[in-house]
Amino acid sequence: MIRFLFKGLIRDKHRSLLPLIVVALGVMLTVVFHSWLTGVISDSIEYNARFTTGHVKVMTMAYADNLDQMPNDLALLNADSLTVALKKQFPGMEWVERIHFAGLVDVPDRSGETRAQGNTIGFGIDLFTPGSAEIDRMNIRKSVVEGRLPKQNGEILISNELASDMKLKPGDTISLISSTMYGEMAIYNFTVAGTVVFGTSFLDRGTIIADIADVRQALNMEGASGEILGLSQKGYFDKNEATEIAAAFNRNYNKPADEFSPVMKTLMEQNNLGALVDYSSVILTVLVAVFLLAMSIVLWNAGLLGGLRRYGEFGMRLAIGEEKGHVYKTMIYESLLIGTFGSLAGVALGMVFAWYFQHYGLNLKGMMQNATIIMPTVFKARITPVTWFIGFIPGILSTLIGTMLSGIGIYKRQTAQLFKELEA
């Protein structure tokens, strides 16, 4: 029977094509809407997670108290072994060590004396370990405007703005002046591999990005790091997951009496992002609900229309002896088929767009100076498990309801009248 209906649908384009297109488009819009909204709403959160807070972050308690001073003298001394333990105990997260530091960038003239100086805030991240996701995580690859990514130890990236202020070019040498973990003065030479623009002036004013191994050497931090970031393998912040992991970690490792014992904080406990996370999920739910309602009405209407246009055909079928119930049933089955295939096509199509927006984003320029929160300028969609099935709700359900309603007409009208509509 399904096969029969299927053939009918394929052969009679009028019965199938337009409704199918409408359902597919509707479902596609739903998928794109959901992924876009999820992406845009959580983008500032994820951006912060990738650059500063992680989904969870391990620091010493003393470091956490003075976070904005980047107090590397209060860093985690045994960060290496701690990271190994974290990877083993919580494999659901990716654990990365970072050193965040402040200092001066000093540019020498030909005789090695100071030619220019500028303030900098630096990130020591894992640039060179094969498989390290840090470069992509911080979107560094696409941020390079001049030169290239660092290829070997001793090479760094520097904000384009700072570089042009100090007339630096890729290949030039600079010295970083900072203080080591023990408070000594740290002077370390780097070669500029390339310059970067992140699009947020918070970072663009004067950032350098170096490999963590170099930074450790520069700041005398062998085996230590300021922060260990945990980022969920899921690719987005999961409140429950993060809270559970943080609680489990703190039970084992945190000793409130020792200010240098490690403490794990979730993203929600940092930079006051907690309220934003909660708020975002409420907004997301409300907007998706409104959209689903609207889309359901549209597809319901489409189902209704699809039924109406075939009243003539039903008249004929009733005239040649088919029962009303049977006509009604085939109609429902057909709408289910259309709903299913339309939804599948819609999800597939929507996912293509969603994927594109997730990977490449849409560059909607708008920079922020003076921000303590990092804001994105490229908006990106995000595909979550919900995105995969949310389109089926309006796609199948609404089509079905629409068809059911229009089908009632079959019972209400006389066969003769329906037959007449065939003439019409």
Partner 1 sequence: MLMAFKLALRNLIGAGLRTWLNVIVLSFAFVVIIWHKGILDGWDRQARTDMISWEAGGGQYWQQNYDPYDPFTISDSHAPVTGTLQNMVGHGTLTPILITQGTIYPSGRMLSVLIKGIDPAQKILAIPSAMLDTASGDIPAIIGTSMAASSKLKTGDHVTLRWRDRNGAFDATEIRIAGIFKTNVPTVDGSQIWLPLSKLQQMMLMPGEATILVCKQRNESFPAAAGWKVKDLDFLLADMNNIIKSKTAGGMVLWGILMMLALLAIFDTQVLAIFRRQKEIGMYVAMGMTRRQVVALFTTEGAMHAVLATLLGAVYGIPLLALQAIRGISFPVSGSDYGISMAERLYPHYGIRLIIMTILIVMIATTIVSYWPARKIARMKPTDALRGKIQ
Partner 2 sequence: MKLLLAILCLSISSAYAQYPDGKEILKKIDQNLSSDNRIFTSKMIIHGRRTSRTIESKTWTAGEKKSFTEYLFPAREQGTKMLKLDDQLWIYSPSTDRTIQIAGHMLRQSVMGSDLSYEDLMEDNRLLNHYNAVVTGAENVAGRPCWVVKLTAFDPNMAYQGLKLWVDKERNIPLKEEMYAKSGTLLKRSELSNVENINGRWYPKKIVFKDMLKDGEGTEFIIGNIQFNAAIPEYVFSKANLKK
Q: Which of 85, 121, 177, 368 contacts partner 2 by CB under 8 A?
A: 177
- Name, in order, each residue with C-beta under 8 angstroms of 335's C-beta and a sequence gap of 6 or more: 19, 303, 306, 307, 399, 400, 402, 403, 404
Instruction: Give the one residue of 33, 95, 188, 249 binding partner 2; rule: CB under 8 A.
Output: 188
Can residue 276 be called a binding residue for partner 1 (CB under 8 A)? yes
Q: How far is the CB of 201 from partner 1 (least distance, A)?
A: 8
From residue 200 to residue 229, what is the string marking binding to partner 1 with x (rule CB under 8 A)?
-----x------------------------
Residues 58-77, interacting with partner 2 (CB under 8 A): 62, 73-74
Is the separation of the CB atoms in 314 and 407 below 8 Å?
Answer: no
Q: Which stretch binds partner 1 (CB under 8 A): 143-151, 207-215, 227-235, 364-372?
A: 364-372
Does the protein bind partner 2 through residue 419 (CB under 8 A)?
Answer: no
Distance between CA atoms of residues 303 and 404, nearest Å: 8
- Chain-centre distance for alpha carbon 373: 17
Torsion on CA atoms 362, 363, 369, 375, rounded to nearest 10 = 20
Phi, psi of 264 (to 5 degrees): -105, 130
Mapping DSSP to helix (H, G, I), strand (E, B) and coil, where does residue 32 land?
helix
CB 164 within 8 A of CB 188: no
Residue 29 found at the interface with partner 1 (CB under 8 A): yes
Minimum Å gap between C-beta 96 and partner 1 is 25
What are 270's two structure tokens?
Answer: 């940092």
**Structural tokens at position 118:** 């500028």
Q: Residue 262 in 3-state DSSP? A: strand
Residue 271 binds which entry of partner 2, partner 1, none, CB below 5-8 Å type-dependent = partner 1
Q: What type of residue is 72?
A: N
> Is 112 or 321 the residue whose CB approaches partner 2 more closely?
112
Window of 48-56, 123-131, 179-187, 285-293 that interacts with partner 2 by CB under 8 A: 179-187
CB of 189 to partner 2, least distance (A): 4
Residue count, binding to partner 1 (CB under 8 A): 50
Pairing of strands 56-60, 155-159: unpaired
In degrees, rounded to 5, the angle at the alpha carbon of residue 18 between the alpha carbons of residues 312 and 306 is 40
Binding site for partner 1 (CB under 8 A): 14, 18, 22, 25-26, 29, 32-33, 36-37, 40, 119, 205, 271-272, 275-276, 278-279, 287, 290-291, 293-295, 297-298, 300-302, 304-305, 308-309, 362, 364-373, 375, 377, 379, 423-424
